[in-house]
Structure 1
């Protein structure tokens, strides 16, 4: 019987065997927050967890040992608080949480960790965590927001926007595929917002978090009106396939 890919489904001995095999540990990181009038607050949890698991399936099929922890479901979501339905941490608590998870993984003998982020508000903090935790624990730690890591897999499948945004065509489609009860189809006509969370004249290199109330009346960035479950299945497959290709690179882990 093949070993499960999910840490929580393994026995302690099986987890230790994975460490002995130099398995990559993928830690999905997400957020619980508003996603417009049409989409469930657990969107980032659903998508982050499934992108991580589907990526792991493809890595295993290619011969890389891998396991996936449960989703870190809380993140940095202060910019969504004004809409309600959101749980947020402050930066020090978030970093302490990641420190505890990765520290535990390292103490069990794992040498490779991927922080697979599924929430835009966590992006900069994930990069900081990956760097600091690698130095502290003496292991390889990578970190990325999945749609930033594989944009080339996403853009060709979208009709109304160039990339994944927030409660948008891409996120709505994938939730519709994975958990249809998380979508309110009757509210889709309202599920449209600005095409960017940046104000006019703000370059990509200028970071400034502002309340989504200032950005979008609906809480949406992008356009969910062209979403479909079929599109969601294609997006999930394309994202996971490309992410697995990226993570399978032995040079990334210092193995060549």
Structure 2
């Protein structure tokens, strides 16, 4: 029988026991926002939750204790607001929500927390938050965006892209695997856009947020047309396995 890893499906007594075992707490972090003409707005929530579950399953299978909280479902998505269908927070509110969840984990006795991010607009913010919380609560708090942490397992599965983008081949494939009812297959032929959010001459190290409306007419970055369920299953398996291996590294938490 698989070991239960969902916080909300465990009793308070069971969670106290996990904390006593020095379980890792994984907090999926996402956003509610437009995902092109072909996908529902909950993509990042579904994918962050799905990736966290696959990661936790790998950690549990290795015999290590782990717990996954419900997803923090809204984040920093101002750059999607012009398309509609998007909910965003300012940085103070977002940081405050994360602080409350991490502080609660610490007060429950947990000493290791992973902010597992599934939305590009949150990438820098979760890293800043993790650093602050480590000092503030005296526990180990790590943070990362899943496709930034394990890009080497994502690229070989894709046909048209060098990595995960937005409402793209990768995200659409994983949605087909996890929630196919949230993909409008009849709109897939329209689901493509530029291959970068950066203008010519802008290096990856130079950040300048722009509205996605100004970058992509469809709201897509990348090309979703080659997406398949099989690619989605392969991506979820590869990402979950790689992240589990990364987070099982005890040197990371020393």
Query: Taking structure 2 as the reference length, what is the TM-score of the superposition?
Result: 0.99
> Residues of 1 paired with 2:177 and 2:53: CA distance?
15
SS at match of 1:46: helix
What's the offset of the Cα at 1:75? 0.4
1:116-167 superposed Cα distances (whole Å, 9 cap, x missing partner): 0000000000100110000100101000000000000100000000000000
Aligned to 1:184: 184
CA offset at residue 111 of structure 1? 0.5
Is 1:50 the equivalent of 2:16?
Answer: no
Q: Partner of 1:129 in structure 2?
A: 129
SS in 2 for 1:25: strand
The offset of 1:3, in angstroms, is 4.7
Structure 1's consecutive aligned runs of 4 or more residues displaced over 6 angstroms after TM superposition are: none
- Equivalent in the alignment of 2:67: 67
Distance 1:116 1:55 in 2: 10
Cα displacement (A) at 1:168: 0.1
Alignment of 1:90-101 (within 5 A): 90-101=90-101
Separation in 1, partners of 2:140, 2:21: 15
Deviation track 1:157-207 (CA, whole Å, cap 9, x = no partner) reads 000000000000000000011011010111011000000011111111111
**2-side partners of 1:145 and 1:90: how far apart?**
19
Q: Does 1:167 align with 2:167?
A: yes
Q: Secondary structure at the match of 2:210?
A: coil
1:32 match: 32
- Cα displacement (A) at 1:53: 0.7
Q: Which residue of structure 1 aligns with residue 145 of structure 2? A: 145
User: How many equivalent pairs are there?
Assistant: 254
5+ residue gaps in structure 1?
A: none
RMSD between aligned residues:
0.8
SS at match of 1:26: strand
Runs of 5+ in structure 2 lacking a partner? none
Distance 2:145 2:18 in 1: 25
Cα-to-partner distance string for 1:46-91 (whole Å, 9 max, x where unaligned): 0000100110000011111000000000000000000000000000
- TM-aligned CA deviation for residue 2 of structure 1: 6.0
